[in-house]
Amino acid sequence: MRNCPRCLFKNRFSLVPLVISLILLAMCAGCIQGTTETSSLNNTNADTHIFFNDSLGNRVELSQPATRIVAGNSAVAEMLVTIGAGDRIVGITDSVKSRKEILEKIPPGVMSIGTADTPDLETIILLKPDVLLLYGASSGHQAQNLEKILAQNISIVTLDCYKLDGVSNDAYALGIMTGNPEGAHRYIQFNRKYRQLVESRLSNLSPDEIRVVYAESESDYIILNRATGIGQILDTLHARNAYGNSTTYEFPRLNPEWVIKNNPDIILRKDELVSGIPLNATYDRIISRTGYDQVYAVRNERVYVYNNEIVGRPSVVIGLVYIAKALYPDRFADINPGDILNEYSREFGFYTNKKEWIYPPFDDPVNRSSPRGFPLE
């Protein structure tokens, strides 16, 4: 990295495979939403260099592909496997240790560095990575001991790999970084295909169709604003976040009175399913909150609990389709998000087990449109 010497590697590598990789990735660079990223070569000193942007928009320069990568968050580990570069992973976080679909596609015995927020410095040093991949500051997750890691002259690249507006750029970056352009290209094309499908269906929304959405985290009354993954999905769907335009990573705990006063059209509740409580139980608890019988979303049966696996991971475009159908059922009446999820599973090998993804499910009569302010009959 010209602006970050720690991200430069010393050894040269073959020019021919790199040129092929760059040509393929350059073909899909124009498919990336929200970036004008292009790869390039620097031949001024007979060395070959590759370029890409990280999730924060910083320009990164490498002099060779990374062969030893510590994946400092679960989303980047999943993305590496998705594009066919799982064999480059030498370190993971604790959150990956229970994910069989990742573990079976990376080298056996890969060590954990702890959590994304508090990675173990000694383990990272022991693994001797070419690159340590961490969340960007814009994700709200930043390693608490980042300065100590930097002091060890360890190359760090920040990639989130779960936000709708950045996942194609992140896949592109990893494709260049690992020399896996074909896998990155397949992922970017899939992402682009279904994002364009959703955007085309909403291109002529009328003002009366714009929804006000209260997005709640897995913790009661903790708001999810526009800076979050679900926040970017709502922006793409032209929905209004009930919390306004806040993009800071400060999520206050609201109260029932705030929700009742702001009277959202739709309530979305995030669920990680780590407690073993099914989505329908969370749904029943939310609609039974005191005073919620006054809220449009509850009166009109427009409350949804979603599994965050399809929103907080590289498969976020699947989450986009699910939430699009929840917000605009009439415009997506012919779209079955489950079919798109199955296509993603066949293509990339994730989400092959049947799970709850959203409640109520879309074959439930609860999922019907109704004008704002008029209860369903």
The rounded mean pLDDT for the chain is 83
pLDDT value at position 102? Answer: 94
Neighbour-count burial of 82, counting CB atoms closer than 10 A to its CB (0-12 exposed, 13-18 middle, 19+ buried): buried
Domain 5-189 superfamily per CATH = Nitrogenase molybdenum iron protein domain (3.40.50.1980)
CA 325 to each of CA 94, 138, 278, 367: distance values in angstroms, whole numbers, following the listed order = 34, 28, 21, 9
Q: Using CA atoms, how far apart are residues 127 and 3, in angstroms rounded to an integer?
A: 25
**CA proximity to 173, closest of 281, 269, 59:** 59
CB-side neighbour CA atoms (13 Å) of 3: 9
**204-359 has the same fold as 5-189:** yes
pLDDT at 63: 76
Q: What is the third-level CATH fold of 204-359?
A: Rossmann fold (3.40.50)
- Please check the confidence at residue 247 and state whether its pLDDT lies above 80: no
| Residue 177 zone, left/alpha/beta (φ > 0; ψ -120 to 50; rest) | alpha
For residue range 185-240, list pLDDT tens digits in order.
Answer: 999 999 999 999 999 999 999 999 999 999 999 999 999 988 889 999 999 999 99
Lowest mean pLDDT segment, chosen from 25-34, 68-77, 118-127, 171-180: 25-34
pLDDT band at 267 (very low <50, low <70, confident <90, very high): very high
Domain boundaries, the chain: 5-189, 204-359
Q: How does DSSP classify residue 353? A: S
Given a cut of 80, whether residue 29 has pLDDT beyond it is: no
Q: What is the pLDDT of residues 71-119, one digit of tens each?
A: 999 999 999 999 999 999 999 999 999 899 999 999 999 999 999 888 8
Percent helix, percent strand, percent coil in the chain, to nearest 5: 40, 15, 50
Backbone angles phi, psi at 20, to 5 degrees: -60, -45
